[in-house]
Amino acid sequence: MQVLLARPRGFCAGVTRAIAIVERAIEVFGAPIYVRHEIVHNRTVVQKLRDQGAVFVDEVSEVPDGATLIFSAHGVSKAVQREAQGRSLRIFDATCPLVTKVHREVVRMREAGKTIIMIGHAGHPEVEGTMGQVEDGMILVESPQAAEALADVLNSADLAYVSQTTLSVDDARNVIDVLKERFPAIAEPKKSDVCYATQNRQDAVKKLAREVDLILVIGSVSSSNSNRLREVGEREGAKAYLIDSAEHLESSWFEGVERVGITAGASAPEFLVQGVLDSLKQSFGDIEIQELDGADESVAFPMPKGLWESDLAAARGKSLAEH
C-alpha cells in the first residue's frame, strides 16, 4: 500500500500559540488554570492539557475568584470580556491574532455605519465571539441560499461582510458571489478572512484527492477546519473519513484501496498522524510513505505579555524565595 501525506497539515500558528499559552500559564502560575471553552477543538489536546492541570469551563461564572483564566483560540464576545474583567481574575487571551483581525474589522465597519453580514456556521464559538464584538447590526448567513433570501430592503452601500476563518474557501466564495451580485457596493475585508492555514490545508487536500482513493483526515468532529478538509476531499472525488486517532480506523475502509492519503486539521497534533501510520504498518505490513509538495509555512505569533521567559524566571525566583 502507498500512503501519501498532505503538506501542510496539522497545527497552525494560532493553535501552536494557544496551546503554548495554557502550558506556560500552568508552568508560571501552577495548576489549576481555567480555560473558557476547549482551547482548540481537538479531544487529544484538550485531554493532555487537562492532565497537566487545565480546567475547561463553559462560563466565566464557573471560575473561582483569584484564578487564572484563558480565552480559547476562537475568541470571545465583548460581553464575555467585560464579565471576566469585572471579576478578580488573571486573564490571558489565546484568541488567534487572525480572529482578532476579523474582530477589528467588525468594529471598524460598524463605526462606518455598515450593517455586517457574517458568513459562518451558527453556534460556532468563533462566530459567537465575532458577532459579539458589536451590540447590533450583524446578520449571520450560512449558505448561498441564505444570501439569496436576504431582504431586498438592505441598501448595498450600507453593507459589509466578514467570514469565519475556517470556512471552506469554495463555500465562502459561493456566498460572496451571491452577496456581490445582489449588493454590488458591499464593502469587503481588505484581505480574505479565511486564514492562510485553512486555505493551505484545503489546497493540499485537493492535491491529495487527485492521487488517492481514500483520505483519512485526523481531527475532532468539533473542529470546523477538519470537517471542511473531509468535505473538500470528498468533493474532489476521494472517499474521506474524519477520525480522532488510529483507534477509529475501520478495516472495511481499505478494501480495494491501493493509495491512502492522510492529512490533519489545524488543531490535530502530528503524533496522531504518526499513530495512524504505525497502525497502517501493523495492518498492512510494509507501506510506502511519501509526502506531497505543498506550501511552506513560517507564520508564528508571539506569546502575550506576562508569559515570556523573563516572566517565567521571575515567577520561579519568587517561588524559590518563598521557600
CB nearer to ligand SF4: pick between 99 and 260: 99
Contact between 127 and ligand SF4 (CB under 6 A)?
no
Nearest distance in Å: CB 94, ligand SF4 = 9
Contact between 200 and ligand SF4 (CB under 6 A)?
no
Query: d(Cα 224, Cα 222) in Å, to the nearest integer?
Result: 6
CB nearer to ligand SF4: pick between 80 and 214: 80
Q: Which of 3, 6, 13, 264 binds ligand SF4 (CB under 6 A)?
A: 13
184: Cβ–Cβ under 8 A, 6 or more apart, which residues? Answer: 156
Q: Is 126 part of the annotated catalytic residue set?
A: yes
Q: Which of 35, 98, 262, 307 binds ligand SF4 (CB under 6 A)?
A: 98
3-state secondary structure of 124: coil
Nearest distance in Å: CB 75, ligand SF4 = 9
Residue least distant from ligand SF4 (Cβ): 14
- CA distances to 3, 312, 323 from 319, rounded to whole Å, are 50, 11, 7
CB nearer to ligand SF4: pick between 3 and 6: 6
Contact of 230 with 215, CB cutoff 8 Å: yes
Query: d(Cα 65, Cα 290) in Å, to the nearest integer?
Result: 52
CB nearer to ligand SF4: pick between 25 and 73: 73
C-alpha cell at 270: 502530528
CB nearer to ligand SF4: pick between 22 and 212: 22
Contact between 233 and ligand SF4 (CB under 6 A)?
no
C-alpha cell at 292: 506531497
Which listed range, 93-101, 208-216, 242-250, 313-321, lies at the site for ligand SF4 (CB under 6 A)?
A: 93-101
Mask for 15-44, x = binds ligand SF4 (CB under 6 A): x-----------------------------
CB nearer to ligand SF4: pick between 243 and 266: 266
Nearest distance in Å: CB 9, ligand SF4 = 12
Contact between 204 and ligand SF4 (CB under 6 A)?
no
Query: d(Cα 22, Cα 245) in Å, to the nearest integer?
Result: 23
The single residue of 126, 135, 258, 291 carrying the catalytic annotation is: 126
Q: Which of 8, 10, 14, 219 binds ligand SF4 (CB under 6 A)?
A: 14
129: Cβ–Cβ under 8 A, 6 or more apart, which residues? Answer: 74, 75, 76, 77, 80, 95, 99, 103
> Helix %, strand %, coil % for the chain, to 5?
45, 15, 40
Q: What is the DSSP letter of 165?
A: T
Sign of CA dihedral 10, 13, 15, 17: positive
106 C-beta neighbours (distance < 10 Å), count: 22
Contact between 197 and ligand SF4 (CB under 6 A)?
yes
Contact between 99 and ligand SF4 (CB under 6 A)?
yes
Q: Which of 70, 96, 246, 307 binds ligand SF4 (CB under 6 A)?
A: 96
Q: What is the DSSP letter of 61?
A: G
- CA distances to 9, 31, 100, 134 from 25, rounded to whole Å, are 27, 8, 21, 30
CB nearer to ligand SF4: pick between 214 and 224: 224
The kind and range of the H/E element at 141 are strand 138-141
Q: Tell me which residues are annotated as active site.
A: 126
Binding site residues, ligand SF4, CB under 6 A? 12-15, 73, 96, 98-99, 165-166, 195, 197-198, 225, 266
